[in-house]
Amino acid sequence: MKKITDKLYQFSIYIPPIDFTIHQYLLDTDPAILFAAGTAQQAEAILPDIKKILGDKPLKYIFVSHVESDECGGISVLKKAYPDVIAICGALAARELPGYGYTGSIRMEKGGETFTDGDLKLKFVDYPSEVHLQNGILCLEENSGVFYSADIALRFGNGVGKTIRGNWKDEVSAIGAERVPNEKACAKLKEDLGAISPNLIAAGHGFCVECR
Ligand SMILES: [Fe+2]
Ligand SMILES: [Fe+2]
């Protein structure tokens, strides 16, 4: 576990044969939110740290960008530890999460919507997420400027605890067909992302990017 900013904690595994890092992030705000559940194995592994960081405070939200094991595989493990947790996700994930054994509350969101609760001001962007161009969502927490990018701004390499400096516009224009093969959907995503300006990209894979 690495502390990235005052309230942002990163949990990671690095997989050397593919030079790939997978992260989840806990924003220790009131209420607290976890971006990505990780796989079931990862969720088990990070749970003690989450409990240590949050203390008596419950984990209120888990943000699920899209339906893939790194995003939602461990959601039932986390639900067991935090029975009142609410999954925030798009329409497709809302239908699919029960397939991961999830029986908890779901808050369905879509691009353009904003949701405020205590310290959290979450703004959502529609995300035609690979591999299957599923209807996913991405999330900017506007008070902290933290943007959970899932598979956008993905970099190979051991990014555990590492933040690089970058530029938001460059990150957005770098999104290509390998991430969103549908040209129209890719252009729309870039347009939507162009309308926000995060301070920090909390990447699902690779390196966090501090945006100038
Ligand atoms: Fe993914
Ligand atoms: Fe991913």
What is the distance in A from the centroid of ligand 2 to the CA of 126? 16
What is the distance in A from the centroid of ligand 2 to the CA of 35? 11
Domain boundaries, the chain: 2-211
Give the ligand at the shortest distance from the Cα of 130.
1
Q: State the Cα–Cα distance between residues 102 and 70, nearest whole angstrom.
A: 15
What is the distance in A from the centroid of ligand 1 to the CA of 66? 7
Give the ligand at the shortest distance from the Cα of 68.
1
Give the ligand at the shortest distance from the Cα of 67.
1
pLDDT of residue 134: 77
Closest CA to 66 of 87, 42, 45, 82: 87
Give the ligand at the shortest distance from the Cα of 22.
2
pLDDT of residue 199: 98
pLDDT of residue 49: 98
pLDDT along the chain (212 residues), means of 10: 97 98 98 98 98 98 96 98 98 94 97 98 92 86 98 97 97 93 94 98 98 88
What is the distance in A from the centroid of ligand 1 to the CA of 206? 13
Which helix (DSSP H) or strand (DSSP E) does residue 41 occupy? helix 40-54
The CATH number that domain 2-211 falls under is 3.60.15.10
Give the ligand at the shortest distance from the Cα of 154.
2
pLDDT of residue 157: 98
pLDDT of residue 130: 67
Model pTM score: 0.97
Q: State the Cα–Cα distance between residues 195 and 5, nearest whole angstrom.
A: 24
**DSSP annotation of 17:** G
What is the distance in A from the centroid of ligand 1 to the CA of 202? 14
Give the C-alpha distances (Å, rounded to integers) separating 65 from 27, 37, 46, 62: 16, 10, 19, 10
What is the distance in A from the centroid of ligand 1 to the CA of 83? 25
pLDDT of residue 131: 67
Which helix (DSSP H) or strand (DSSP E) does residue 191 occupy? helix 183-194
